[in-house]
Amino acid sequence: IVAGEYVAQELVHPSERQVVMDDSTVALKVDLRAYAYAGEIQSLAARLYRGQTTNMRTPGGGFAPVFTEAAGS
């Protein structure tokens, strides 16, 4: 690994977002990913979930929109 090119990923604990479901507010964890090629971000994706792993079974969870702002905005 040291001799070649590789990608290292540091452990970052998930942040949480408040989501309104059935007239109550619940906290869901956020998994935000940036997909890059040749040092440039190609796309962004986010998932909301509860528990230890991201899955598509969490009520109110699943894929979420990612909004960005232009630099200097």
> What is the residue-wise DSSP string for 4-31?
S----------EEEEEEETTEEEEEEEE
How many distinct structural domains can be found in the chain? 1
Which residues contact residue 46 at a Cβ distance below 8 angstroms, ignoring those fewer than 6 apart? 30, 31, 32, 33, 63, 64, 65, 66
25-29, 44-48, 52-56, 58-62: which has the minimum mean pLDDT?
52-56
Residue range of the domain that includes 38:
15-64
C-alpha to C-alpha distance for 12 and 56, rounded to whole angstroms: 21
Kindly state whether residue 40 falls inside one of the protein's structural domains: yes
7 assigned to some structural domain: no
Convert the pLDDT of each residue in 6-51 to its tens digit.
777 778 888 999 999 899 999 999 999 888 888 889 999 999 999 8
pTM for the whole structure: 0.69
48 falls within a domain:
yes
Residue 5 within any structural domain of the chain: no
Position 32: which residue type? Answer: L
